[in-house]
């Protein structure tokens, strides 16, 4: 299977494409194709495979026909090669202090053994002659994995692509795009793996947190206003504040990451404050006998300065966070500050301009619904009275 996961560090973003299968050679060929596809993504800093972190390996494949023809013992060949390259342990030496030291016998010039020396190494045959190793076996050098990893009884090989940190959010989509049409042999399956699932679950949990925040704010305002229609005029300030978040992050070229999401959740409880004090004052003025229009105008005039002061003091207090580069556990605080500033400024303007408009709309809607319900229940009561 093919697994894609994302690793984020302080300096860069990294996507790993993990290939799974039985045959390492097939995986190496597939990794080369994956590497070629990933290199087509613009802006990548580097593309590497596990082969790049590996080394070289000398491999010998004995020719059985030649072995039988010359009458050479295969065990003798493998033993002689191992002796020439590594030596062999023959005994242990016991020192006076009780330690055991391995005694290994090897060729005097084993450090200077070359591939040509190995090819020309001779072995005795049945008829007393000698034959070189290159006549008995195929000798070649291949690149190997730095380490062999197994998962679910399959070999795993990684291809990693590294990009600048601010491009982390685009990497997954770009990897999916370049991997389209990538055909894998039978037994080699495509699977994005557990890391991708974890990221999806993280996004879902953050979205759930946003929804629950809006729900709790709405229920609280429903109790405050003794209505579940008028709080909608306050709730509309939340999506409009996200417009400010978008533009601030866009202008500052800041990715929407975990700290930005946290800032968005905090915004939900903050941006409604200005709308609440505005609508609450308008409701109190209407209870004193003022018309809806006069109540909204007077509430806007009285709350204009406090709304500006509270918004600007909060926004200016967040500037050091938004402009700085402080970190904790590798996470920057700047996206949090920028998200808060953008949302607060947008909510301030839209609260003064649009909240009264939506308040009027929902108030008319509530009045219309009350008339419809009163008319319906009134007719029902008249019908019941005439029947009796």
- What gap in Å lies between CA 315 and CA 267, rounded to an integer? 12
- Residue 8: the pLDDT is 47
Say if CB 336 and CB 262 are below 8 A apart: yes
**pLDDT tens for residues 214-263?**
888 888 888 877 778 878 888 888 888 888 998 998 898 887 777 888 88
Examine the pLDDT at 10 and tell me if it is beyond 70. no
**pLDDT tens for residues 360-372?**
988 888 888 888 8
**pLDDT tens for residues 283-312?**
889 888 899 899 989 998 998 898 889 889
- What gap in Å lies between CA 240 and CA 238, rounded to an integer? 5
Burial class (CB in 10 A: 0-12, 13-18, 19+), 295: buried
Rg over alpha carbons for the chain, rounded to the nearest Å, is 37
- Residue 379: the pLDDT is 58
For the segment 165-184, the average pLDDT, to the nearest whole number, is 74
> Who has greater pLDDT, 305 or 57?
305
Residues 291 and 367 occupy one common structural domain:
yes
Residues 209 and 181 occupy one common structural domain:
no
Domain range for residue 101?
74-139
- Residue 380: the pLDDT is 55
**pLDDT tens for residues 102-146?**
887 776 665 556 777 777 777 787 777 888 877 888 877 776 666
Q: To which residue do tokens 């005439």 refer?
A: 386
Residues 166 and 245 occupy one common structural domain:
no
Burial class (CB in 10 A: 0-12, 13-18, 19+), 264: buried
CA 361 from centre of chain? 42
- What gap in Å lies between CA 51 and CA 256, rounded to an integer? 34
Determine the 3-state secondary structure of 289 from DSSP: coil
Domain assignment present for residue 271? The answer is yes
What is the tally of structural domains in the chain?
3
Residues 38 and 177 occupy one common structural domain:
yes
Nearest to 159 by CA among 32, 9, 45, 29: 32
Residue 384's pLDDT band, with cuts at 50, 70 and 90, is low
- What gap in Å lies between CA 307 and CA 177, rounded to an integer? 47
Residues 205 and 179 occupy one common structural domain:
no
Domain assignment present for residue 49? The answer is yes
- Residue 3: the pLDDT is 44
Nearest to 11 by CA among 166, 139, 234: 166
| CA distances, 159 to each of 8, 379, 386 (Å) | 16, 74, 83
- DSSP codes of every residue in 139-158: EEEEE--SS-EEETTEEEEE
For the segment 4-27, the average pLDDT, to the nearest whole number, is 67
Determine the 3-state secondary structure of 95 from DSSP: coil
Residue 345's pLDDT band, with cuts at 50, 70 and 90, is very high
- What gap in Å lies between CA 29 and CA 187, rounded to an integer? 15
- What gap in Å lies between CA 114 and CA 132, rounded to an integer? 15
- DSSP codes of every residue in 355-374: HHHHHHHHHHHHHHHHHHHH
- What gap in Å lies between CA 194 and CA 179, rounded to an integer? 18
Q: Which of 191, 216, 251 is the last residue of a domain?
A: 191
Domain assignment present for residue 67? The answer is no
């Amino acid at each position: 299977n093919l697994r894609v996961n994302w690793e984020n560090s302080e300096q860069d973003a990294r996507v790993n494409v993990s290939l799974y299968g039985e045959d390492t050679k097939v995986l190496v060929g597939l990794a080369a194709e994956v590497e070629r596809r990933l290199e087509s993504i613009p802006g990548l800093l580097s593309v590497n495979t596990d082969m790049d972190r590996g080394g070289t390996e000398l491999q010998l494949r004995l020719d059985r026909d030649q072995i039988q023809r010359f009458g050479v013992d295969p065990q003798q060949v493998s033993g002689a090669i191992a002796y020439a390259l590594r030596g062999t342990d023959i005994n242990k030496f016991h020192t006076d202090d009780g330690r055991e030291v391995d005694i290994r016998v090897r060729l005097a010039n084993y450090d200077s053994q070359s591939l040509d020396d190995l090819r020309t190494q001779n072995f005795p045959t049945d008829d007393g002659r000698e034959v070189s190793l290159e006549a008995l076996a195929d000798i070649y050098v291949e690149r190997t994995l730095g380490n062999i990893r197994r998962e679910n009884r399959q070999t795993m090989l990684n291809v990693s692509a590294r990009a600048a940190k601010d491009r982390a959010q685009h990497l997954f989509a770009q990897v999916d795009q370049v991997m389209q049409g990538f055909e894998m042999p039978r037994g080699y399956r495509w699977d994005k793996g557990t890391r991708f699932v974890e990221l999806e679950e993280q996004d879902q949990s953050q979205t759930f947190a946003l929804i629950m925040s809006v729900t709790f704010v709405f229920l609280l305002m429903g109790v405050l206003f003794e209505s579940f229609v008028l709080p909608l005029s306050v709730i509309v300030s939340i999506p409009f504040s996200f417009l400010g978040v978008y533009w601030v992050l866009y202008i500052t070229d800041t990715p929407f990451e975990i700290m930005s999401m946290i800032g968005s959740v905090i915004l939900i409880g903050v941006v409604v404050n200005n709308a609440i004090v505005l609508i609450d004052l308008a409701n109190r003025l209407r209870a004193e006998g003022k018309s809806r229009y006069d109540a909204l105008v007077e509430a806007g005039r009285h709350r204009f300065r406090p709304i500006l002061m509270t918004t600007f003091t909060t926004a200016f207090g967040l500037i050091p966070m938004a402009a700085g580069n402080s970190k904790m556990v590798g996470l920057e605080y700047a996206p949090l500050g920028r998200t808060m500033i953008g949302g607060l400024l947008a909510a301030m303007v839209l609260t003064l301009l649009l909240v009264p408009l939506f308040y009027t709309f929902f108030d008319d809607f509530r009045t219309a619904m009350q008339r419809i319900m009163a008319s319906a229940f009134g007719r029902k009561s008249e019908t019941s009275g005439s029947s009796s």
